[in-house]
């Protein structure tokens, strides 16, 4: 786990998230960064992980080497007023007012599950990720997209609701990248292969040997 907070000297807008987040229900991979030029990025849990109440113990899992832009939000299940009732009003939340059982408070919303983000994912400015969504490795979420459904690996999506724009690579290359899993390599191996990673020299990466 990272202990260093700021990746760049003098830059207090960008942080390594897993050095900042304290909630045990939020798991962040190494080198994943968050940039915020409006609010304090140290307040990521408060400002960006919303409706994440302890009652469900739901998880936010974000992989390694992800890039999260300013204002991206993760909306959890307590934001989902139930559609099973005639009314969308959250009567169970106000159990005292309506003389309901406190234990029934979770019936006020529909539960859709955890939010799981893969590795090397880029989440754009003010994008919104909804509860229950899974985003695959290498995906790109465009600015202000609203992600309501799972996103396959190495897929670019945008819009409201987010829809596929295109794949980043052809399916054969994607399959090889998912086997390669460069983000799991030791740091020294990543260092040695940075030119190939940064320049997109896929053949060199695929045929690299220790």
**Catalytic amino acids?**
81
Q: Can the peptide bond before residue 179 be classed as cis, meaning omega within 30 degrees of 0?
A: no
Share of the chain residues as helix, strand and coil, in percent rounded to the nearest 5: 30, 20, 50
Sign of torsion over alpha carbons 172, 176, 181, 182:
negative
Q: How far is CA 167 from CA 56, 171, 202, in A?
A: 34, 8, 16
The CA dihedral of 182, 188, 194, 196, to the nearest 10 degrees, is: -60
Cα–Cα distance, 22 to 42 (Å, whole number) = 11
> What is d(CA 50, CA 34) in angstroms, rounded to the nearest whole number?
16
């Amino acid at each position: 786990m990272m202990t260093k907070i700021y990746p760049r000297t003098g830059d207090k807008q960008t942080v390594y998230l897993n050095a900042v987040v304290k909630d045990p229900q939020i798991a962040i991979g190494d080198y994943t960064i968050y940039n915020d030029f409006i609010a304090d990025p140290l307040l990521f849990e408060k400002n960006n992980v919303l409706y994440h109440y302890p009652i469900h113990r739901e998880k936010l899992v974000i992989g390694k080497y992800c890039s999260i832009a300013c204002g991206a939000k993760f909306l959890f299940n307590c934001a989902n007023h139930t559609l099973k009732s005639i009314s969308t009003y959250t009567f169970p939340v106000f159990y005292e007012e309506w003389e309901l059982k406190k234990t029934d408070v979770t019936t006020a919303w529909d539960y859709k599950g955890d939010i799981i983000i893969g590795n090397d994912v880029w989440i754009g400015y003010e994008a919104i990720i909804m509860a229950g969504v899974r985003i695959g490795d290498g995906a790109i979420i465009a600015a202000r997209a609203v992600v309501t459904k799972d996103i396959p690996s190495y897929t670019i999506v945008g819009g409201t609701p987010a829809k596929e724009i295109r794949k980043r690579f052809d399916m054969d290359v994607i399959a090889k990248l998912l086997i390669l899993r460069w983000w799991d390599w030791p740091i020294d191996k990543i260092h040695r292969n940075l030119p190939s990673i940064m320049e997109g020299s896929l053949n060199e990466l695929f045929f690299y040997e220790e």
